[in-house]
Amino acid sequence: LISQPLPAGASGCLQEKLSRARDALLRAPRESLAALLELLFAHPELQTVIEEDILAALTASCRELEALRGAEGGLQAALYLYSGVAKVLPRSAAVASAQGALLHRLGRHKEALERLQWALALDPGHAPAEEALDSLRSFAAERWHFRMLNDRLRNQCYATAIQNAVASLAGASDGGTASGQEVRALDIGSGTGILSIMAARAGATKVWGCEMNSLLADLSRQIVDQHGLGDRVTVLHGHSTDLRVPRDLPERVDLVVTELVDSGLVGEHILSVLRHARDELLRPGGLTVPYGAVLHAMPLAAPELRGRQRLVLDTAGRLHGLATGGLVVRVDEPYTCECLSHFPHTPMAAPVRVLEVAFRDSLSSKPLAATVPLQPTACGVVDAVAVWFDLVLEPPGADGTFNPRTTFSTRPARGGNGWDQGLYHLVDVQSTPPELSPGSPATLRCELCEDRIQFSIDASHGERRPSPAAQVRVGEMDLALMNDVGRHCAFLS
């Protein structure tokens, strides 16, 4: 911060007060902020001189509050400070921009949009406001939304499954729903509202969409109205786990539809969300779309991925010539996502079917696990396990098979596929990753528990593998930087 001087002729007393307020900024930012605001109230003509000081004290105060009260409490207290300063400096683009960015962090996206737009109205070239607005827009409509909306097979399967479910519920003679009975549906994670519209068009008499992104919730209300369904589809803003009957819904619903599945299947917490829906929002005998998923896996080697998941050591066990003391550094994220059709990799074994998950039957905290034999097809280390799945929208028929009209796959190279594939990092990897070779036995173990999938490979042939001296887990990009030889050489030079 370069402090602006007071105008010529300012009193010595005023100079002393401003000096004390500036001196307190680092050691007591909230006291500094209070003193600066008091000066501004008494001398409005000083705004241009001390505005930057106020912003610096405000930023430091918010950091202090977050450190003292934790993320949630600190951000709420910081927002209170910003709101007060915004009243004092209503035409400050910097204050409006910072307040908008804070509202975005708190999930109050509609208010954030208003503040950021106001900041740009005050200063059309204000870079922080433009950057924050770009971030907000990306959050409101991330690019994968368009891929999903353009996945015709996925849309056709969902439309058919929802149509069948509504018809079954309206025409059932048991389960508490009489023939011709009204059908109430809840769309969890409703996004643009496409599944809600499908349910209404299928004949559901009342549909509630639940969307946590406030901007997307507003957009979906407009889309619903444009389709002439505003009287039958209501979009609620918030998490479905916060919904209560009869506060938010007049009664339990007959049908729950959702697509809370990502490329790794459970990364959007579909199991815990459906558990809450079953216990609190869905009537006994009600239906859920989707029914479940069939998980497929394939071990692979990918040098590009290797440097993002563990330290890449030389033959002497060193990193850029530095000894690691046996330390094993691993990525802390369970998986990453890539489109295998465009991602350089070598399949190390034939794809295998590992788990069949019925979502309604997998809602307890008890792990679901399977160990399957592998058929290695190449020699080398395994860097990850690629995952894709068949999303099964309806229960199996009497013959135990799934309806192909309501089942679709996220496998690589499927035309129009809206999903990438999940690349799961192996757990329990010690100082060296497992190696496969054709003709040598190996097994893949998969465990699903509480919205988390883990994979491990046993190719040890009974050999005891050494344990590392210690393990540390860091972010994927941090590991990539640690393995960046060119970057290190440049710094050393």
CATH code of 246's domain: 3.40.50.150
Given this model, what pLDDT does residue 104 score? 87
Judgement on whether residues 257 and 282 belong to the same structural domain of the protein: yes
Judgement on whether residues 16 and 149 belong to the same structural domain of the protein: no
- Show which of 140, 169, 197 is a domain's final residue: 140
User: Considering its fold, how many domains does the chain have in total?
Assistant: 3
Given this model, what pLDDT does residue 154 score? 95
Would you call the peptide bond into 5 cis, given omega within 30 degrees of 0 as the criterion?
Answer: no
Given this model, what pLDDT does residue 410 score? 96
Judgement on whether residues 297 and 425 belong to the same structural domain of the protein: yes
Judgement on whether residues 196 and 223 belong to the same structural domain of the protein: yes
Q: State the Cα–Cα distance between residues 448 and 305, nearest whole angstrom.
A: 23
Q: Are 282 and 288 in contact (CB under 8 A)?
A: yes
6 falls within a domain: no
Judgement on whether residues 126 and 88 belong to the same structural domain of the protein: yes
Given this model, what pLDDT does residue 176 score? 40
Over its C-alpha atoms, the chain yields an Rg (Å, rounded) of 28
250 falls within a domain: yes
Given this model, what pLDDT does residue 456 score? 93
Domain extent at residue 129: 12-140
Judgement on whether residues 440 and 319 belong to the same structural domain of the protein: yes
In this structure, what CATH number is given to the domain that contains residue 56?
Answer: 1.25.40.10
Given this model, what pLDDT does residue 142 score? 66
Q: What is the pLDDT of residues 376-405, one digit of tens each?
A: 999 999 999 999 999 999 999 999 999 999
- pTM for the structure as a whole: 0.76
Q: State the Cα–Cα distance between residues 306 and 476, nearest whole angstrom.
A: 10
Given this model, what pLDDT does residue 178 score? 42
For the chain, list residues with pLDDT below 50: 1-2, 173-178
Judgement on whether residues 314 and 274 belong to the same structural domain of the protein: no
Judgement on whether residues 276 and 349 belong to the same structural domain of the protein: no
Which residues contact residue 300 at a Cβ distance below 8 angstroms, ignoring those fewer than 6 apart?
A: 345, 346, 347, 348, 382, 383, 384, 385, 386, 423
Judgement on whether residues 136 and 199 belong to the same structural domain of the protein: no
4 falls within a domain: no
Given this model, what pLDDT does residue 173 score? 40
Q: What is the pLDDT of residues 181-202, one digit of tens each?
A: 899 999 999 999 999 999 999 9
